[in-house]
Structure 1
């Protein structure tokens, strides 16, 4: 399915929920809608599904104008944060319902295969009321996958699950999406989820479409400060800077000699961005050393996150592995000048680090 939104917007009373935007989804691929709560993700998905009509603009499917066409006349599967199942049916019958409507063969085998991948095969004989919220959400997700609709809309479908299961199902969903023919739209607040799913990412903020493109490209080359803030976990370190002949000076202190000069005319209040993963404990040739003091150390999974107070301001560093840092201890962070982002006074990206190894 080729879904195109042509200059759509959405207003409700005096409020603008979606500002004027264009978006053409890539057929058979995953598009992630990334943004904080109230960024406009659900409003946009409802227009895609036909649950709402845009105030202005047109929605086209395979070149046909479907603006205002109700959802019951479209072949769409949608899963919300608030799961919806048929309470009188067993889990098996819930998942099988779209398969039976299509007259599919081997329904039981298909149901069991989907249930196993979503870790609910042991609940097939139960009714939804006998399941936890996370289990019911997986039933709704399995039924949507069974429908095999050309357009599948998933509005934060894993948000009600525990951390470990969420990680497992992300991997499963990535494989399921790759094996299917559906155009998938997946809404999330988590940058890591967008990176895992790949495909394309649209970054939304308070109803505005900030950037849309291949996920890796948007992550490595955020077009603005707002995109960099939205697509970074932990948040990108953002530091005041000024342009000098050799590069940029950070916080009126340290000179970062950039590999290439900034665009002509770059001046005024610049911002240097440093991803937490670009900071290291061990120095390499050409590094700049940033002394600091540990304010907080957190272990999350197999990574350690250190919050440090430095002459440049507060910074967060991400180190692979489990490390022990005492509060108040001295720490020296090391950084390659070429690994920084530079944003102009208007927030637009002026330079991004060179990507290594095609990543």
Structure 2
């Protein structure tokens, strides 16, 4: 997907969170949003996803204006800083949930493939509360990847993990993104992380 932002602004009352911004994402590649905390990265990603409408400007997906299209009508996957999983579902069902919603074939194969890639195969029958923070974030990542959305947004997904886990998961994500299946936007405050993820920096 080629996502284009044209003169995007975001405000809350008189407070401007995003000034007129133009950005075109390279399709099927990684774009890193590098900036300090509260620099507007999350605000921008919420506009990209359709979670929030911009105060001004347009969002184009493959040339089509989707500015007013709600998130449920867009094929977007998003991973947050927090470990957001369905607490009453097993790890397997968490990962499978977007596939079941679309009534896809080969769900078990896809879930097992992602669980193997993210090293969470032993935990497929467990509930998220039984996992460590790093394991829970792997589940959230696997669920987002299972969706195979043309646009994947990752809002500082490793920020709440310790250094060793961050390094390990970052390497795994770099390998997963290398297949070029999705247009990926990755937000971070860390210049080193931006450099190691490669791709384009905004």
Q: TM-score range by the shorter chain?
A: over 0.9
Q: Which moved more, 1:103-112 or 1:76-85?
A: 103-112
- 1:318 is matched with which residue? none
Residue by residue over 1:293-346, the C-alpha shift from the partner in whole angstroms, topping out at 9 and shown as x without a partner, is xxxxxxxxxxxxxxxxxxxxxxxxxxxxxxxxxxxxxxxxxxxxxxxxxxxxxx
Q: Does 1:193 align with 2:180?
A: no
Aligned partner of residue 125 in structure 1, secondary structure: coil
Cα shift at 1:78: 0.4
Asked if the contact 2:25–2:31 (Cα under 8 Å) also holds between the matched residues in 1, the reply is: yes
Q: What is the SS of the residue equivalent to 1:172?
A: helix
Aligned to 1:68: 68
Matches within 5 A, 1:34-113: 34-113=34-113
Distance 1:162 1:125 in 2: 25
- The answer to whether the Cα contact below 8 Å between 1:52 and 1:68 also exists between their aligned partners in 2 is no
Matching residue of 2:167 = 167
Give 3-state SS (helix, strand or coil) of 2:178's partner. helix
Unaligned runs of 5+ in 1: 203-359
Query: What is the CA RMSD across the aligned residues, in angstroms?
Result: 1.3
**Aligned partners of 2:169, 2:105: CA distance in 1, in Å?**
26
Q: Matches of residues 185-224 of structure 1 in structure 2 within 5 Å?
A: 185-202=185-202
The higher relative CO (CA closer than 8 Å, separation ≥ 6) is in: 2
Deviation at 1:192, TM superposition (A): 1.2
1:28 matched residue in structure 2: 28
- 1:168 is displaced (CA, Å) by 1.6
Greater strand proportion: 1
| TM-score when normalising by structure 1 | 0.54
Q: CA deviation at 1:197?
A: 1.3
Deviation at 1:159, TM superposition (A): 1.4
1:170 CA drift (Å):
1.2
Q: Distance in 1 between matches of 2:106 and 2:73?
A: 27
Residue 5 of structure 2 is matched in structure 1 by 5
Check whether the contact 1:32–1:186 (CA below 8 A) recurs between aligned residues.
yes
After superposition, give the CA deviation of every residue in 1:20-71 in whole Å (9 maximum; x if it has no partner). 1100111101010001100110000000000111111111111111112110
User: Residues of 1 paired with 2:57 and 2:135: CA distance?
Assistant: 38
| Runs of 5+ unmatched residues, structure 2 | none
Counterpart Cα distance in 2 of 1:130 and 1:53: 37
Per-residue CA deviations over 1:252-297 (Å, capped at 9, x if unaligned) read: xxxxxxxxxxxxxxxxxxxxxxxxxxxxxxxxxxxxxxxxxxxxxx
User: Are the structure 2 counterparts of residues 165 and 133 from structure 1 closer, same or farther at C-alpha, using a change threshold of 3 Å?
Assistant: closer
Q: Which has the larger radius of gyration?
A: 1
Alignment of 1:157-306 (within 5 A): 157-202=157-202
- Return 99-108 or 150-159, whichever deviates more: 99-108
Contact 2:134/2:165 (<8 A) preserved: no
What is the Cα deviation at residue 180 of structure 1? 3.8
Provide the TM-score with structure 2 as the length reference: 0.95
- How far off is 1:76 after superposition? 0.5
The alpha-carbon deviation at position 162 of structure 1 amounts to: 2.1
